[in-house]
Amino acid sequence: MRSPLPRDHFRKPLLQTPFHPRIAALMQAEDWSNWGGYVSAHTIRDAEQEYFAIRNAASLFDLTPMVKYRIAGPEAEAFLDRLTVRDVSRLAPGRVQYTAWCDDDGHVLDDGTLFRLGTAEFRLCCQERHLNWLLDSAIGFDVEVAEETAEVAALALQGPTSRALLTRAGFDGIETLKPFQIRDVWFKHGKVTVSRTGFTGDLGYELFTAPEAALPLWDRLWEAGAWHGLQAIGYEALDLARLEAGFIVANGDFVTAETAIRVDRRRTPDEIGLGWLIDEKKPAYWTGKRAIQAQRRDRSACWCLVGLDIDGNVPADHAIVYHKGKAEAGQITAAAWSPSAKRNIALASLRRPYGDTVKDDLWVEIYALRELAYHKMMVRARVVDRPFYDPPRRRATPPAEF
């Protein structure tokens, strides 16, 4: 199998995506990070301005380092039905499915999006690399599995003006694209696969193309974006938007089963809020089914991942959650003051029954830095539904003009 990395990749500490020249030219903060072995922008100019571009105009984020697998062959559907917890036979060509997959003990290996590009061709996108697991799981199936991360350049175009921007850029008919739907668009330099998906909980699209067409695509969007408030953004702004949407991040809000060192750090779908994905009635057996069914039958799930509304305006980053201010109930996995929801929000992993049947009298221990000294605060927290912020434009078809 061909390696997704060039032979001399070790000569560079981090790889550069096809869009890197454009992002580097815009970079003012010099705030870079490592995302899956690639140079990725954490903040380009100002994280606050980049966040408001997501919510009030349009934003462009380099999605290329997201791990991508091509899965194709006569038994691709059967293989994915065995691999994932959802019924892939119900996923029509030209549609996208949010999904997850588990090990034999029912612990989550990762979550991601499954694109059905054709009758027997799929693209699986996720946070972590799982090629060995996918290849082992594919034994006995007439299917080909290959990582194509370096072979597919990707952008996330998100925000209320994103649809109008695509129309101005010549993406005819894009207004009819429904959420979780895919469409191929051709332009001078090649094909662009556009999906109405994203990680911001807002109106938005993801665009996939060949590396050689990456810069022309960026330039085309950038030129059209001058009319629609387009800004290039880094991960810090995206991370705030995804928290407002209530989305979780692998090895951030939960530890994937392959990377967990301690056994008690692994989680089943029901323990990280992904139980709704499970289709127990689908005909095919899926990996982890028996363990998850046994956990549900015995009501033995130990954890739950919940949204919290916290008093005050000091983010409770990685704070400990207590019941009645004394009994330790769990820990915050992500927290921020939400500019759009005007709330102090958080995601928390709590040990049941806290967050499940016991939701009252929860407190969060926050250490706030004030005048070079940390002040301990115990503030009240309430379990609330997610998402924290959910604009109607996210689902409207056609999207309104902005």
The secondary structure of 111-122 as a DSSP string is: EEEEEEEETTEE
Task: Tell me which DSSP letter residue 277 carries.
Answer: G
Residues in the chain, pLDDT under 50: 1
Q: What are the φ/ψ torsions at residue 337 (nearest 5 degrees)?
A: -80, 125
Exposed, middle or buried by CB within 10 Å (0-12, 13-18, 19+), for 210? middle
In this prediction the pTM is 0.93
pLDDT tens per residue across span 176-209: 999 999 999 998 889 999 999 999 999 999 999 9
Specify the fold of 302-386: Elongation Factor Tu (Ef-tu); domain 3 (2.40.30)
3-state helix/strand/coil string of 60-79: EEECCCCEEEEEECCCHHHH
Q: What is the reported pLDDT for 188?
A: 86
Question: Residues, the chain, total?
Answer: 402
Q: Please state, in angstroms and rounded to a whole number, the distance separating the CA atoms of residues 375 and 304.
A: 29
Q: Please state, in angstroms and rounded to a whole number, the distance separating the CA atoms of residues 25 and 365.
A: 42
Q: Please state, in angstroms and rounded to a whole number, the distance separating the CA atoms of residues 58 and 64.
A: 18
Domain map (residue ranges) of the chain: 9-64+152-233, 302-386
Q: What is the reported pLDDT for 358?
A: 95
Q: Please state, in angstroms and rounded to a whole number, the distance separating the CA atoms of residues 121 and 143.
A: 10
Of 206, 166, 158, nearest to 182 (Cα)?
206
Instruction: Please write down the long-range contacts of 131-136, taking CB distance under 8 Å and 24 or more positions apart.
Output: 131/69, 133/109, 133/258, 134/69, 134/71, 134/83
Q: What is the reported pLDDT for 401?
A: 82
Residue 65, preceding peptide bond in cis (omega within 30° of 0): no
- What are the structure tokens assigned to 340, written together? 């759009």
- What are the structure tokens assigned to 61, written together? 């984020």
**Residues in contact with 102: Cβ distance below 8 Å, sequence separation at least 6, in sequence order:** 85, 108, 109, 257, 268, 269, 286, 287, 288, 291, 292
Specify the fold of 9-64+152-233: Gyrase A; domain 2 (3.30.1360)
pLDDT tens per residue across span 49-68: 999 999 999 999 999 999 99
Q: What is the reported pLDDT for 219?
A: 98
Q: What is the reported pLDDT for 1?
A: 46
Of 70, 127, 141, 69, nearest to 287 (Cα)?
141
Q: What is the reported pLDDT for 275?
A: 97
Of 222, 170, 213, 215, nearest to 190 (Cα)?
213
Please state whether beta strands 182-187 and 153-158 pair in parallel, antiparallel, or not at all (unpaired): unpaired
Q: Is 81 left (phi over 0), alpha (psi -120 to 50) or beta?
A: alpha
Q: Please state, in angstroms and rounded to a whole number, the distance separating the CA atoms of residues 393 and 199.
A: 15
SS3 call for 372: coil
Domains 9-64+152-233 and 302-386 share a fold: no
